[in-house]
Each structure stands twice: as structure tokens, then as C-alpha cells.
Structure 1
Amino acid sequence: MNIVATVVFIGLFLFITVLGFVSAHWRKGDMSHLHEWGLGGRRFGTWITWFLIGGDLYTAYTFIAVPALVFGAGALGFFALPYTVLVYPLVFAILPRLWMVARKHNYITASDFIAGRYNSPGLALAIAVTGIVATMPYIALQLVGIQVVIGGLGFPAGHGLVSELPLIIAFVILAAFTYTSGLRAPASIAVVKDLLVYITVIALIVVVPIKMGGFGNIFAAIPAKKLLLPPIKDGNTGLMSFYGTLAFGSALALMLYPHATTAVLAAKGPNTLRRNWVFLPAYSFVLGLIAMLGYVAYASGIATLPDLAPYFKQYGPQFAMPGLLLHYFPSWFVGVGFAAVAIGALVPAAIMSIAAANLFTRNIYKPFINPQCSAQKETDMAKLVSLVVKFGALLFIIFLPLTYAIQLQLLGGILILQTFPAIVSGIYTRWFDAKALLLGWAAGLAWGIWAASLNGFKTSGYALHIAGMVIPAYIGLYALVVNFVVAVVATIVVRFLGMANDKDATVAADYAG
């Protein structure tokens, strides 16, 4: 047991716990209303929104998984950089319009918008269920980061109450302050989390290369096959096409996740969002440094060191970044770095559970189970569901092997991408018919799940054979093409038959601001 690191870790964790409970009194509003509990009253300014969205999108799994992918697979792991660069111009054009119409009609979720825009509770239900299902394994995977750093502190690895107790305590605390403070808790904690992450990453990328003799020595130790993607050969585009489509598809998917929408709708106004899209690429810079740590860990040879080899045997490449901290830094800073990862898991997990609770309450419970529920009942139900979601994710990770959680997460992006035609096209046009969009959604999901099942849900790529070419690409993007084609053709048929439903609760002026 690393006593010094553990004391620092617990101290920082206690600090953010207190901060989480105190947040209920920050910019206090009537917490009996869902928009206050679940969206912070839509009053977060530029800086808080910047930290909230950054803390929401750049999760602990990112800090662990990106260097792990570079450590194991090399250059492919850098796909995260272009995708986070691509996403900001997209959201700059799209999400401020969603904020405007959501504010004018008191929409809490993207499915609220779908129900109003298309006059279709069924399509809204499909979008809500997709969002919840895609989010659940995402919450569970935040626990991967906590598990890795708890193991690095010296707590027993494996399964059983003793090994899982720190994880259970962390999520009980998370559940308590989220239930009390709603979105205000992760918004305030995100500031601490991001500061710790920036300090840790900058220290790693400066100190470790100096101790290793510079980046020249680091890159000299990396095999050539890990530095570059393999070239196109014999008509097979290989990783070249997979890399590009994975980056583009991930960029499209990122803004559609319920937790991303929740963070966006909590902003004070559309101009707050636009300023954020200008400043948020700072996270992409840090992400590049995080990815580089995979090469640094590989070149350092820490996976073979006697004191760290057992950790790599237990956690695999996921221990690359924690291993660098343990090997090159004093114990007190190890506690700081590990706390950054753990808190970096709790912030997005809190936002994700709130987002899933909002979806269930607004788009399943209220329209289909209890249409006459009061504002207080609506909020109470959201709080209860947020607890269920958190502990469901906790049981998910405790009782299922980790490999299954990761395999299910591969489906998350594929699933959530199928909401793109309804949400994004609806922000700009009412041409699509709800029935056609529902048919396209079903077709995209069916094809995407089938394609992923061909490899036992172990990869997110599908090799398309066309005109003598083999084009491996991200399954989610191929499924989205199927979705769009079906939705377009079905809309044309429905309109030709005169069966289109053009009722719309919004007007053009709602989208301007």
C-alpha cells in the first residue's frame, strides 16, 4: 500500500465530496423543478460551461484508454485528435440552435425536441431509449479509470468485497451529492478535476521525457510500424480508411450523447456556447499530450519492470499512464495524479446519470406512465432514476467481466449515431417524416448491430467490398448511411402517398437568436 499517495488521494476526494454537497446552494434555485436540478437552471456562464463540457467529454476513460491504445496499437490511437478537432465546427453550427428552441419550449432533453418538432411520441421514445442504452456502459466504463488507480495505490485487485469496497464507497458518495445538488455538483467539481488533469499531464509530458533523455530517445525506441499507419496495399485501404471514418464518426456521435446535450442545454445562452467552441480546442491540445504518453510509456519499458509488471499483467496497457506516475514521481504527486483520474471519472458519470434520468422521466415516465405528474413528482422521479442508473452501472462492472463492458461500449457510438438524422436534420428542416425517420433508425440499428456481431462485438470496423476494393470503416458511419438512405426514400414514399404528418410545435423564429 502506497500510504502517502493514498492519503493525498483520499484528501482530494474528501474535498470534492464536500464541494459536491455545498454546490446545492450555489446559484440556488427551486430544486423541485427538473430544469433546476437537471440543467442547473440554464444559468451556467462561459467559464463554468467550458469546464462542465470539458469535464463531460474528456472522461477518466479517455485519460486511461487513449495512452493505452497508443501504447498497444501505435498511431491508430491518435484518431482521438482529429475527431475532437472536427467536432467543434459541427457543434458551433448546430447546438446553439438547439439551445434556442429548447429554451423557448422548456425542452430538457433532445427527445423533448423530437416530440415537439415531429409530433411523434414514438420517435421521441426511440431516441430516448437509444440514449439511455448507449449511456449505461459509458457510465460503467468510467469505473475502469477508478479501478486502475485504486489498484495502483495498492488495494487488492480482483473481485470480492474488499477489492470493490473503495469503488462502492466512491459511487455512494457520487450518488449522494448528485441526488442533493443535481447538475450543480459536477459543474463545480469539474473545475477542480480539470485543474488536476492539466497539472498532471503537463508534469508527465515535461518531467518524464527529461528523465529519459528527450523525445529523440523516445521516438528512436518506438518501432516504425507503431509510428505510422500501414499504407494502402492491393486495393485494401486498411487502417487509413478506418482511421478517418472512426475520427469523423466519433465526432458526429460525441455531440449526440445525452450527457453532451445536457451540458449544452445548461449554458446561459447560445453566445456562451459559441465562445466555448472557440476555447474548447485547448482540451484537444492536452489530449494530444495524453496520447503521446502511450509512446513515452512504451519507450520507457515500464511494463517489464519488476515492481510494475504485476499491474500490467492485471490491467494491460490501461496501466500505461498510471505506471509512468508510479515510476517517475514522488508518492505525494502520485496521489494527485490518481485523484485527477478518479475525479475525472466521477464528473462525467454524474452528468451521464443525470442525462439518463432526464430522458427516462421526460420521455418515458411522463408521457407513457404518469402524464399528470406534477413538477415536484417529475424531479423526484429523475433523482430516483439517477440513483438506479449509477448503481446499475456499478453492478454492471462488478459482476460482468470488464471485456464485456468494453465490447458493449463499442456499440455505444454505433447506437447513438442513429439519432443523428432525427435530431440534426430536425434542427434545420421539417422535411423528413417521423415514420420514415423511425424506419431509418431501426434499419441503421439493425445493420450496425449485425455488422458488429460478425466479430463478436470485439471491433468497431467493417470491411466493405466494392468494385474490387476493400474499404474497412467505422461501423457506426456505415450504419448512419443506411439510416439516411432509408429515411430519405421512406419520406419520399410517404409524401407521395399523402400520409405525411407535418404537425410541428415549433416555428422558424424559435431557432433564431
Structure 2
Amino acid sequence: MSAAVPAAAAAGNTDINWVALTIVIVLFCLVTVMGFMAARWRRKDASMGSLQEWGLGGRSFGTFITWFLLGGDLYTAYTFVAVPAAMFATGAVTGFFAVPYTIIVYPIIFVFMSRLWSISHTHGYVTPADFVKGRYGSRGLSLAVALTGILATMPYIALQLVGIQAVLEVMGIGGSQNALARDLPLLIAFAVLAAYTYSSGLRAPAMIAFVKDGLIYLVILVAIIYLPQHVGGWGHVFDSAQEKMATVNPVTKKPVGAFIPNTLQFWPYATLALGSAMALFMYPHSITAVLSSKNRNVIRRNASILPAYSFLLGLLALLGFIAIAAGTKPIGLDGLPNPQLVVPQLFEDEFPSWFAGIAFAAIAIGALVPAAIMSIAAANLFTRNIYRDFINPDATHAQEAKVSKIASLLVKVGALLFVFTLDKTLALNFQLLGGVWILQTFPAIVFGLYTRWFHRWALLVGWAVAMVYGSVTAYQQINPATHKHFGSSLANIDVIGQTGYIALTAFVINVVVAAVLTVVFRLVKAPAGEDATKPSDYKADAGDPSVHDLPELSEA
């Protein structure tokens, strides 16, 4: 048991677990040093004066580094905090769907990501919006993709902050009524993150990802072996979870959740998994990590071995059920229940303080790595597809790098404001709402890798209709317990009489609108835009004559 008094023991308890806090600080300082050292790691451009170097790590990462970078990028504080929290609160439909979707996603990216890598290397594209502009000859469609990427990334970064806040709160930090004192540790953490990201670019999270993933594997393996036996065995774990999910919520008059999805929940479960899988590699940070690899085979090898993380994710999700069996009470320092605290509180209650500190550090560092990549990816979108396309078309490589560094700082500030002003208990739905938006870039990006049939204007209108539908529908979902908007990412689909993931419904609307309008625009012979690519570009590999040396990449 931890030496500190568990936060659940008394509402508003402010006892600080100094042992755990010390370990967190030491490991945080370690990764901070690594973050600054990364500026000189595997560097080709001594000045870091281009987005190829700062924003994509020189496009030089091999299989080993890319595996850790993608793992650090995709398996985030969302993995550690929100997924087990969903399992703890409502069960499999809103929690365990993350496991099949990460299994589905890798065959999908095996098929199309190598093509995106090739076309991006051939033409020097840094962002997916760069490709869209080159493919369709449309700055408007490119701008839509860029703005969607930035918009969807903000709540994702905010989710990482929620993960850090959960750790701080369970350790007893943040109980002060003074806003500055309460938020100061988080501000310090992100000030340091901003500093080494500004200095080292993508190399910083790539190097830190080694520490992050090592800590996560250590903590989860120990937790999944030790905790079930400590709380009465796996039989007791599943019996306790099933009993809780069958309990009737006095507010909604319905069961608390679902231990195993029933027939009415098959469609929501399946659409959540499929829609999330399609959306995951549309996020700018996922594409940024892929484009940093040095050749096509690196991507394919990683698509083959990254499912190892899906096994880890399944174990993580089960921590929510273990917390039920352990009787964990995730009570915040404000005295209110907060499921987002359940995993940190479980570690605090059941582990010695020194190991709880290692676990807390794994969560905190697991937030810093993806937050860094996300801010870089969003900054690259702003620089290439807003600043360069609409503000300074003649920007040099050095100017692009400078603007992107500044933009990455502003993105982090925006994420902080997101967390400080919005309800933190909705962290999972914030991320899922981002999925509603980012999935609407799928037709322009993925379809464009294989066909030029869709008209640029049709894709833009389809995107706009889907964005409006998805946002309005998500807003209309009211949480029956809190009566707040954006209460769910599921909504009724009247056409088929089922409940499904809003993002996937919006995607279907997007494709139908784009297909119908493409026919119309082609009939009236509307300008289709110039395609800057050619078929051989989509199969080019490192060393091919069409792939230029990175320092000489075209500005186009």
C-alpha cells in the first residue's frame, strides 16, 4: 500500500505523496535533458532551418525508431487514462472498442500509407494538405484539410493534459483554491515541453519515446500480473465488473453499462471501432510520424509489428475492471467523483509509493511525447497550408521552420486553454469529437491516393456538409446524468433504425455528396484543377531518381 493517504479516503484530501512525486520529477528531468540533447541527434541540417529537419526529423528514421515514435504517438495518455476510465464507468461499448479498432487500423495503413510516403518524398510534401493541393490543384480543399487537422488535434492534445492532471491530482497536487497555484505544475510541464520541442523538433519525442514505452511496458506487465491476484483473482474481477454494469443508474433508470455488448449495442460498438480505425491515421501527428521514416518498407514493417501495442491496450483496458474489483474510489481533490482518476488512484492505493511514482511518470511522459508530435504536426499544417499558401507564398525554408516553431508554441497554449476552460471529465468525448472531424478528410486524402475521379469542388462540399452534420449532431447529444452537450459520440441513424458512431455516419454523407456532385460538375465541365502528380510517383522509394536529396527538396 502507498505511504500517502489515498485521495479517495477523504474528499478534498491534500496530502502529497512525496516519494511518488520525487520519482516523477526525477524521470521528468531525465526526459527533459534527452529532449534538448535530441537537437543534435541524427541531424543532417546543422541549423535545423527547414521543416524537413525540424518537423520531420530529416525523414531519416528506420524501423526501430519509427516503431517507438508511432507507439509513443498513438498510444497516449488516452490509453492510460480515458480507456480504463470508460471501462470502469460504463463497460465494453465505450471502452473496449479501442482494442478491435487498433487491430483493424494496421492492415488499412499497410495498404495506403506507403503510397502517401512515396508521393510526399517525391514532391517534398510535409503535410497531407500539401498532397491534397498537389493532387487536386485546389488551395481551398487543401485549406479545409489543414484547418480540420488543426481543429481535431487541439482536443487530442488537451486529452494529454488531462492525463497529467489526473496524476498530479492523485498525488495530492492541485487542491489549492488559488488558480495559479493549482495549475502551476501543469504550466511548468508544458513550458518545458514547449522549450525542447522548439529546440529539437520531432527528434525530441522520437528520443523520449524509448523511455516512455519502456516505462509503460514495465508498469502494465507488473500491474496485470500483480493486481488481479491482489484483489481476489480474475474471476472476482469479472464478477465485480458484471455486477456493477448490471446495476441500475438512479438517474437514467438504465443499467450503468455493458459488461458484454448486447444485440442493441452491436452496431454502436462496430461503428465506433471501424470509424475510429479509419480516422486514426488521418490525424496530422500520425501522418507526420509516418513521413519521418526513411523508406517505404519501414512503414510496411511497422504496420506488421505495431499490433503488439494492441495487446498492451487490451491489458490496459482491463485495469478499469480491476479497479472495480479493488473498490477504487476516484474522488478528485474537489470532492467530486471523476472516472478519469481511476487508474492513477488504483496505482496509488495498491502499489508502494516508489512503484506508484514510476507508474505516474509513465502516464505523464506518455502524455508529453504525443503532445509534442501533435503540436509539431499542427504547426506544420499552419505553416505550409495557411502561412505559405495565403500569407507569404515566397517563404524560404528558414522562414517556414521559424513560423512552424512559433505556431507549435501557440498550439500548446490553445490546448492549455482548452483544458482550463472546459469540463475535464469529458476528455474521452473530446477526443472522439475530434474523430468526427478528422474522418471527413479521408475521401480527399485516401481516395486521392488511388483515383482522380472525385471533383475538387465536390470533395469540398462533401467535407463541409459532413462537418456541419457531425458537429451539430454531436452537440445535440445530451448526457442524461449531467445534462451537458457533447454527451456522446453515438446518435440514432433514422434511415436504418440503429445507433451508430456520428463520425462514420457523417463520412457516409460526405462520400455520397461528393460522388453525386462529382457527376454534376463533370457534366457541366467545371474546372477540375491541375494534378501535379503522376502514377510513378506513388511507388517511388528512397534512392529512386525522382526522389531528391532532402536539403534540395522543391519548395512546391
Q: What percentage of residue pairs aligned between the two structures are identical?
A: 53
Counterpart of 2:27 in structure 1 is 12
The alpha carbon displacement at 1:406 in A equals 5.6
Tell me whether 1:357 sits opposite 2:386 in the alignment: no
Tell me whether 1:41 sits opposite 2:70 in the alignment: no
Gaps of 5+ in 1: 233-237
Distance in 2 of aligned mates of 1:48 and 1:341: 21
- After TM superposition, the structure 1 = structure 2 runs for residues 207-246 of structure 1, keeping only pairs within 5 Å, are 207-223=226-242, 225=246, 228-232=259-263, 238-246=264-272
1:462 match: secondary structure: strand
1:186-229: per-residue Cα shift (whole Å, max 9, x none)?
Answer: 00001100000111111111111121232122222222545644
Do the aligned partners of residues 315 and 359 (structure 1) sit closer, same or farther apart at CA in structure 2, a change above 3 Å counting? farther
Counterpart of 2:254 in structure 1 is none
Tell me whether 1:111 sits opposite 2:133 in the alignment: no
Select 1:343's aligned residue among 352, 365, 370: 365
Tell me whether 1:83 sits opposite 2:101 in the alignment: yes
Letter in 1 for 2:322: V
Provide the TM-score with structure 1 as the length reference. Answer: 0.95
Letter in 2 for 1:507: K
**Range moving further from structure 2, 5-14 or 147-156:** 147-156
1:472 match: secondary structure: strand
Select 1:192's aligned residue among 188, 211, 219: 211
1:382-422: per-residue Cα shift (whole Å, max 9, x none)?
Answer: 00000111112112212333257665434211110110110
Do the aligned partners of residues 312 and 155 (structure 1) sit closer, same or farther apart at CA in structure 2, a change above 3 Å counting? closer
Letter in 1 for 2:234: F
Distance in 1 of aligned mates of 2:346 and 2:530: 58
Counterpart of 2:497 in structure 1 is 470
Select 1:268's aligned residue among 291, 294, 300: 294
Distance in 2 of aligned mates of 1:191 and 1:269: 21
2:497 match: secondary structure: strand
Do the aligned partners of residues 216 and 229 (structure 1) sit closer, same or farther apart at CA in structure 2, a change above 3 Å counting? closer
The alpha carbon displacement at 1:315 in A equals 5.5
The alpha carbon displacement at 1:81 in A equals 0.5
Letter in 2 for 1:486: V
The alpha carbon displacement at 1:163 in A equals 1.3
Counterpart of 1:482 in structure 2 is 509
The alpha carbon displacement at 1:470 in A equals 2.5
Distance in 1 of aligned mates of 2:433 and 2:413: 21
1:249-271: per-residue Cα shift (whole Å, max 9, x none)?
Answer: 00000010000010010011110
Counterpart of 2:141 in structure 1 is 123
Tell me whether 1:70 sits opposite 2:70 in the alignment: no
Distance in 1 of aligned mates of 2:529 and 2:163: 47
Select 2:351's aligned residue among 312, 319, 329: 329
Distance in 1 of aligned mates of 2:332 and 2:28: 26
Gaps of 5+ in 2: 1-15, 247-256, 478-484, 541-556
Aligned length: 502
Distance in 1 of aligned mates of 2:426 and 2:83: 19
Counterpart of 1:507 in structure 2 is 534
The alpha carbon displacement at 1:447 in A equals 1.3
Counterpart of 2:158 in structure 1 is 140
Distance in 1 of aligned mates of 2:334 and 2:304: 38
Distance in 1 of aligned mates of 2:429 and 2:339: 16
| Contact kept? 2:340, 2:425, Cα under 8 Å | no
Letter in 2 for 1:364: I
2:96 match: secondary structure: helix
Do the aligned partners of residues 389 and 310 (structure 1) sit closer, same or farther apart at CA in structure 2, a change above 3 Å counting? closer
| Contact kept? 2:241, 2:259, Cα under 8 Å | no
The alpha carbon displacement at 1:158 in A equals 6.2
1:93 match: secondary structure: helix
Distance in 2 of aligned mates of 1:329 and 1:452: 39
Select 1:96's aligned residue among 102, 114, 127: 114
Provide the TM-score with structure 2 as the length reference. Answer: 0.88
Letter in 2 for 1:219: F
| Contact kept? 2:136, 2:456, Cα under 8 Å | yes
Counterpart of 2:473 in structure 1 is 451
1:364-388: per-residue Cα shift (whole Å, max 9, x none)?
Answer: 0001001111111110000000011
Distance in 1 of aligned mates of 2:182 and 2:473: 37
2:173 match: secondary structure: coil
The alpha carbon displacement at 1:314 in A equals 4.1
| Contact kept? 2:35, 2:196, Cα under 8 Å | yes
Counterpart of 2:72 in structure 1 is 55
The alpha carbon displacement at 1:312 in A equals 9.6
Counterpart of 1:235 in structure 2 is none
Counterpart of 1:202 in structure 2 is 221
Select 2:184's aligned residue among 150, 155, 165: 165
Distance in 1 of aligned mates of 2:91 and 2:423: 26
| Contact kept? 1:212, 1:300, Cα under 8 Å | yes
Distance in 1 of aligned mates of 2:183 and 2:164: 11
Letter in 2 for 1:151: E
Do the aligned partners of residues 276 and 433 (structure 1) sit closer, same or farther apart at CA in structure 2, a change above 3 Å counting? same
| Contact kept? 2:158, 2:418, Cα under 8 Å | yes
Distance in 2 of aligned mates of 1:253 and 1:460: 14
The alpha carbon displacement at 1:18 in A equals 0.1
CA RMSD of aligned residues (A): 1.6
Counterpart of 1:300 in structure 2 is 326
Do the aligned partners of residues 62 and 158 (structure 1) sit closer, same or farther apart at CA in structure 2, a change above 3 Å counting? farther
Letter in 2 for 1:494: F
1:49 match: secondary structure: helix
Distance in 2 of aligned mates of 1:315 and 1:199: 29
Distance in 2 of aligned mates of 1:61 and 1:314: 21
Tell me whether 1:27 sits opposite 2:42 in the alignment: yes
Distance in 2 of aligned mates of 1:40 and 1:209: 42
Distance in 2 of aligned mates of 1:414 and 1:90: 18
The alpha carbon displacement at 1:488 in A equals 0.4
Distance in 2 of aligned mates of 1:310 and 1:437: 45
Distance in 2 of aligned mates of 1:229 and 1:119: 48
Distance in 2 of aligned mates of 1:212 and 1:409: 32
Select 1:379's aligned residue among 380, 401, 404: 401
Letter in 2 for 1:381: V
Distance in 2 of aligned mates of 1:405 and 1:158: 22
- After TM superposition, the structure 1 = structure 2 runs for residues 171-186 of structure 1, keeping only pairs within 5 Å, are 171-186=190-205
Counterpart of 1:251 in structure 2 is 277
| Contact kept? 2:74, 2:370, Cα under 8 Å | yes
**Range moving further from structure 2, 457-466 or 434-443:** 457-466
Distance in 1 of aligned mates of 2:265 and 2:527: 42
Distance in 2 of aligned mates of 1:345 and 1:402: 15
